[in-house]
Amino acid sequence: MRKVFLGFIVYALAELALLIVIGQNIGVFNTLLLIVATSIIGIYVVKNKGMNSVQNVKNTIARGEAPGPALIDTVLTFSGGVLLALPGFLTDLIGLLLLMPFSRKMFQPIFYYWMRKKMKKGNFIIVQK
């Protein structure tokens, strides 16, 4: 629990420092405009690209294939859009990395590892109907 709390504090301080540095370099108004623009883009991505990814998962299931890769892609795309919608430049950077197909492939093994770890502990259960 301490690590999570410490992580949030470090993240908040890093985000604040980055906002100050960027604000000094490009101006306060431009910084705020950039934050609002990335938030709007993030909302658009979640709405459109996220729904397309969900449809892709449904099509994969309808074909009788395992939805694993399509599901992982959907979760990472949705997460990238949400991170892009949140204010801050660190979240925007991570969100953009999750949205780009070539960099999303870097995150897929990490997500698979996390899922397997959760499944072994019994914290993550897949139910088939």
Structural domain includes residue 103: yes
Structural domain includes residue 126: no
Pair of tokens at residue 77: 């795309």
Structural domain includes residue 24: yes
What is the rounded distance in angstroms from the CA atom of residue 118 to the CA atom of residue 101? 25
For residue 22, give its domain range: 2-121
Structural domain includes residue 128: no
pLDDT digits (tens, 9 = 90+) for 65-83: 777 777 888 888 888 999 9
pLDDT digits (tens, 9 = 90+) for 5-15: 999 999 999 99
- What is the phi/psi pair of residue 88, to 5°? 130, 150
Q: What is the pLDDT of residue 67?
A: 75
Domain count for the chain: 1
Structural domain includes residue 129: no
Structural domain includes residue 94: yes
Structural domain includes residue 54: yes
Q: Determine contact, residues 82/57, Cβ cutoff 8 Å.
A: no
What is the rounded distance in angstroms from the CA atom of residue 83 to the CA atom of residue 51? 17
Q: What is the pTM of this model?
A: 0.79
Q: What is the pLDDT of residue 120?
A: 82
3-state secondary structure of 87: coil
DSSP state of 122: T
